[in-house]
A and B are shown apart, each in its own frame.
Chain A
């Protein structure tokens, strides 16, 4: 019995594995927080390399248009198909637009865009920075007295702060367009009825929630994948490990913080 338990968890007793996972997590959260504090300090001091910010914005934003667009569109298709069928059964066709838009703007939009960007950008950043770490490029920076946080994290952070909310809104807009199309095609709900319902349901604070969530996603993706990259030690084999770790952590945290913001915003409105 004992031996099978040990085998299952890669040589570690489950309790030890949990303990290791927990202490790794605490350490990583500390590292990401320190990275964040330093980054904000540099950004506020105006020590910004603008051309590099644009290069990163292009990498993060333009490079993600395709994946974020396609996932947004299909999310809209699926939600509209499901919700319009359910509501039509209750004779509530006229509220389909509101329900779909509400879900897309407040919940599904930020999450799908966040997860796609975490997968694409978070992993790329962790891979790039951990490669720089194991190939001693970061050591070279330190010898030249260049702070890697200022050089690498600040431009990525500023680019993400603009591009991730923009991607999120873009994904949500495509999702809504997809939803209108499917509602018309599958449940005969005309676009104007759909949009009327959207207008009646959605208020300004729903957009605020959307933006807040996408800004938090940007912070999670940048600070965690950069911190993971900057704390990679060892050889080339560690790059793969860092990449996986960045994806797992950023995605998990995006879900957790999505819930926290939803809970807080409901507290506020009720």
Chain B
């Protein structure tokens, strides 16, 4: 599980996260939504330890974390196989066992034929799926997705969302998905948190978003420019 308490983080004197607390349970997917620049990626980086919080506490029940980066972040100098092998490195598996896991993992995302391709030879959607495969190759108990469907066409978005749902059932991990794509968080998440100006302004089930009277989630879900979230800050 993931437990985040009173998280604070500033960059160059500007407070990006002011006071953020939430829990994610095993088998649960939490959507972190909010306008660009509200600190969603920063929250994920704090959870993975890539950044240190200024204040607050993060408790994780596992050090095995899978992170699907916004831009895939595959190592361009390595093939798909080598990218996955790097993630498996610490397990020091025999080569055949390692190859078996890699092929199984790639088959899951439909990319077994691309095992010896370089990332630059893949399409955006294929890179995203490879990044997926890399994130889950060690069966992590915590999986984080940073805008997994942003920049993909609607069909590829649906495919990625389906993978997320399938993985969720398989891994029984605690998951966080950062997104502002409506279909992604309504389809994949059990619960959503809306962030604005460094704090959580709404929390609830995706189904409740449209019915809520909370002005923030109404504005966000309906994507209107009238509401408490000023476009100037977005």
Contact = CB atoms under 8 A, between A and B. Distances in A.
Nearest to B131: A140
Interface stretch (A75-83, A142-150, A163-171): A142-150
Nearest to A146: B86
Contacts of A135: 71, 73
B65 interface: yes
A48 B90 CA distance: 16
A141 interface: yes
Interface string A129-164: 000100111011111111000000000000000000
B76 A142 contact: no
A136 B73 contact: yes
A50 to B, nearest CB: 15
Contacts of A137: 73-76
Contacts of B149: none
B86 A143 contact: no
B157 interface: no
B67 A143 contact: yes
Interface residues of A, number: 12
A143 B50 contact: yes
B100 interface: no
Nearest to A233: B11
B188 interface: no
**Size category, B interface:** 10 to 19
A139 B74 CA distance: 10
Interface in B46-76: 48, 50, 65, 67, 69-71, 73-76
A142 B48 CA distance: 9
Contacts, number: 35
A139 B146 CA distance: 13
B70 A136 contact: yes
Interface in B80-137: 86-87, 89-90, 134
Contacts of B69: 136, 139-140
A145 B70 CA distance: 19
Contact of A136 (B71, B87, B90): B71
B48 A143 contact: yes
Contact of B89 (A132, A143, A144): A144
A139 B50 CA distance: 7
Contacts of B87: 144
A145 B90 contact: yes
Contacts of A136: 69-71, 73
B73 A139 contact: yes
Nearest to A145: B90
Nearest to A134: B71
A234 to B, nearest CB: 11
Given A146-B86, A146-B89, A141 B70 contact: no
Q: Which of B45, B50, B70 has the most CB of A within 10 A?
A: B50
A233 to B, nearest CB: 10
Contact of A142 (B50, B70, B71, B74): B50
Contacts of A140: 67, 69, 73-75, 134
14 contacts: A132-B76, A135-B71, A136-B69, A136-B71, A137-B74, A137-B76, A139-B45, A140-B69, A140-B73, A140-B75, A140-B134, A141-B75, A143-B48, A144-B86
Given A136-B70, A137-B73, A137-B75, 18 more contacts: A132-B75, A132-B76, A135-B71, A135-B73, A136-B69, A136-B71, A136-B73, A139-B45, A139-B69, A139-B73, A140-B67, A140-B73, A140-B74, A140-B75, A143-B65, A144-B86, A144-B87, A146-B86
| 8 closest residue pairs by CB, A with B | A136-B73, A140-B73, A136-B69, A144-B87, A137-B73, A139-B50, A143-B67, A137-B75
Interface of A: 132, 135-137, 139-146
